[in-house]
Amino acid sequence: MDENAYQAYRSVIVSPTLRSIWAEVYGGRFWPDLDPPWTQATIEDVRFVTDRLGAHGAGSRIVDLGCGSGCFLRFAARDLGQRVVGIDANPMAIRLAQELCADLLDKITLQTGDIEDTDLPAATFDGAVSLDVLLFVSDKDRVLREVARILKPGARFAGTTFELKAPSAAVSAPAFNAYPNAFEAAGLVVEVYEEATDWRRLLEEVLSAILTREAALSREIHPVAWSRVRAWASSRPSELADSRRTRFCVRLP
């Protein structure tokens, strides 16, 4: 792993100014474990996920598909007492998750891998989570079949994603807005599929604040990483008319 690339990646997640922007815009809806900017979950989104998955007890196993730097992993292991497996395709995300979850690694297992083909045993997990990751997956049908394969019968998959009516250059994601049909095609029963509350206002205000506080952010974030964050903040607003942030919960019969 290139150390300079890793430090650039890490500098975004640990930026105090970036975190303060999220906290100020989200207010009472800010999730303390959040690692902005790639996951945009509010505390309401996290409560939705945990309420839908249910309390399986200390011996339960949850898988976080696209775990990033491990914000949900830390929360589930520390506050819910669950054993959690985190998978992400980016080895830099897994390395940072290992750092940030260092005191919880007795309950957390991390692996670099493709969530479309996890290589995990079938019918293993009591629940699955994915926060703002499915939009990036090119083959939605394949990843959802994989979710169905690794869940125990009756287990649930809950999370958030973005519908995209057109491809997004800002986040390099393909167009896709037929999630309910895709869930059902994978053999999953849709229990809840709804628009996330006030998502557009929150995102617009965050993006605006990033551009307003460019001087501070450019000092904290590695130049290569900052150019990507700035490009996202500049170009994403024009795409929001073709986007919709949603929450979902589906169940394996």
Q: Is the pLDDT of residue 237 over 80?
A: yes
pLDDT tens readout for residues 8-63: 999 999 999 999 999 999 999 999 999 999 889 999 999 999 999 985 666 689 99
- The CATH number of domain 3-251, selected from 3.30.70.20, 3.40.50.150, 3.90.1150.50, 3.40.50.880: 3.40.50.150
pLDDT digits (tens, 9 = 90+) for 196-226: 999 999 999 999 999 999 999 999 999 999 9
Peptide bond into 37 cis (omega under 30): yes
Give the list of residues 6+ apart from residue 20 with CB closer than 8 angstroms, or none: none
The residue-averaged pLDDT of 65-83 equals 92
Name the residue ranges covered by the structural domains of the chain.
3-251
Q: At what angle do helices 223-235 and 199-212 cross, to 10 degrees?
A: 130
